[in-house]
DNA sequence: AGAGCTACCTGAAGGC
DNA sequence: TGCCTTCAGGTAGCTC
């Protein structure tokens, strides 16, 4: 589900409720998601203050005043939601009168400096998401350390992209899905960026020179920025933390539009499979 | 080392 | 109605 724009939208939804709030109660409802929860997860985060809510690529990061950082990845169907207008908790009545659903795997009770308590639920039907808890030292060496540049940062330049694609024998579509090349794109936004840059998804990555890289970097930044402004793309599961859906799916040029006319040239949008995933493209516009 | 495939899991949608 | 197949926004881990 969630690529960079969706994760950023979730971050923006969670930040007001969580920044500066204390985690007052934790209900971890199963031992694992894609990976096991960290050892003693509930004990380690209960009582900690969330210092901020940040994003790196498709990861949400919650630095705590306990010197550990909670990391969440939404996988395909992960979702954070905030229950507002929350009542005072009675012992043993954590959920009443709203029992958690079968895919609600983690529930955090957070209390803001204002005294308001809110319940934050992580649900994930497919359980491809995961939660980690890392010390600052582990952050530097762990899963996030190998990620490529943030696509919306100034460090992601045409020159940097060309250097990262150098020698790659794989199609550009596959290369852009590789989080070590650039971090945060997924299937939707790679397809959309390649259309906007007029580059064929089949083109070998190593043949992207500076001119095409300029178009591609600009297209990636534009499509991601516009998608964030639109609150992301909702195909089925995705929603922001307040439950609202994204709008950017209405502005897809190619994704999910096989057989429909290309919005640039009106020839039919094609679909093919590359490294096991659907690629939507216009064979007339993209070279 | 790099590239490509499979597995992980559930639910929705489409074909028969 | 119901059963079966296919597909889905991601990525770790395995092969070659």
Could you report the per-residue pLDDT of A228-237, keeping only the tens digit for each? Answer: 999 999 998 8
CA of A65 to C1' of C6 (A): 47
Write the DSSP symbol of residue A177.
H
Following CA atoms A209, A213, A215, A219 in sequence, which dihedral angle do they give, to the nearest 10 degrees? 150
Average of pLDDT values for A145-152?
96
Cα–Cα distance measured from residue A104 to residue A59, given in angstroms and rounded to the nearest whole number: 19
* Residues close to nucleic acid strand B (C-beta < 7 A): A 34, 102-103, 125-128, 167-171, 174, 205, 236, 275-276
Nearest nucleotide over every DNA/RNA strand to the A175 CA, judged by C1': B3
Q: What is the pTM of this model?
A: 0.95
What does the pLDDT read at residue A136?
84
Report the nearest residue to nucleotide C9, CA vs C1'.
A1
Q: Which nucleotides of B are covered by protein (CB under 7 A)?
A: 2-12
Query: Which residue in the block uniquely carries the two structure tokens 């970097």?
Result: A217
What does the pLDDT read at residue A89?
43
Show the tokens assigned to A45: 């985060």
Quick one: which of A189, A175, A194 has its CA closest to A286?
A194
pLDDT over 80 (residue A93): no
pLDDT grade for A98, boundaries at 50, 70 and 90:
confident
CA of A123 to C1' of B4 (A): 31
Average of pLDDT values for A232-254?
94
Query: Residue A129, Cα to own-chain centre: how many angstroms?
Result: 10
CA angle A52, A53, A55 (to 5 degrees): 135
Nearest nucleotide over every DNA/RNA strand to the A129 CA, judged by C1': C10
- Give yes or no: A111 in active site: no
Burial A47-84 (b: 16+ CB within 10 A, else e): ebbbbebebbbbbbbbbbebebbbbbbbbebbbbbbee
- Give yes or no: A2 in active site: yes
pLDDT over 80 (residue A143): yes
CA separation, residue A250 to residues A224, A234, A235 (Å): 14, 9, 10
* Contact between residue A120 and residue A81 where contact means Cβ atoms under 8 Å apart: yes
- Give yes or no: A257 in active site: no
- Give yes or no: A196 in active site: no
Q: Dmax over Cα atoms in chain A, in whole Å?
A: 64
- Considering the candidates A58, A79, A119, A164, report the single residue annotated as catalytic: A58
pLDDT grade for A141, boundaries at 50, 70 and 90:
confident
Query: Which residue in the block uniquely carries the two structure tokens 């498709």?
Result: A58
* Contact between residue A261 and residue A269 where contact means Cβ atoms under 8 Å apart: yes
Nearest nucleotide over every DNA/RNA strand to the A204 CA, judged by C1': B3
């Amino acid at each position: 589900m969630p690529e960079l724009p969706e994760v950023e939208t979730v971050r923006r939804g969670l930040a007001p409720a969580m920044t500066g709030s204390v985690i007052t109660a934790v209900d971890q409802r199963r031992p694992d998601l894609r990976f096991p929860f960290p050892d003693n997860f509930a004990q380690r985060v209960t009582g900690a203050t969330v210092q901020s809510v940040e994003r790196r690529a498709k990861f949400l990061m919650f630095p705590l005043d306990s010197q550990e950082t909670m990391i969440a990845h939404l996988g395909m169907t992960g979702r954070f939601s905030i229950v507002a207008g929350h009542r005072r908790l009675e012992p043993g009545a954590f959920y009443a009168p709203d029992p958690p659903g079968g895919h609600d795997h983690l529930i955090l009770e957070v209390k803001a400096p204002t005294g308001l308590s809110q319940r934050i639920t992580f649900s994930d039907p497919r359980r491809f998401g995961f939660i980690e808890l890392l010390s600052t030292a582990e952050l530097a060496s762990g899963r996030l350390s190998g990620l490529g540049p943030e696509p919306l940062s100034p460090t992601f330049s045409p020159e940097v992209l060309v250097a990262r694609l150098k020698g790659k024998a794989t199609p550009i579509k596959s290369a852009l899905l590789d989080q070590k090349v650039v971090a945060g794109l997924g299937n939707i936004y790679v397809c959309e960026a390649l259309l906007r840059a007029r580059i064929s998804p089949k083109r070998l990555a190593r043949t992207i020179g500076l001119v095409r890289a300029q178009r591609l970097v600009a297209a990636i930044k534009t499509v991601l920025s516009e998608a964030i402004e639109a609150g992301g793309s909702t195909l089925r599961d995705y929603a922001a933390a307040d439950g609202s859906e994204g709008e950017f799916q209405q502005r897809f040029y190619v994704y999910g539009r096989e057989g429909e006319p290309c919005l640039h040239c009106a020839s039919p949008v094609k679909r093919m499979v590359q490294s096991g995933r659907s690629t939507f493209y216009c064979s007339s516009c993209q070279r």
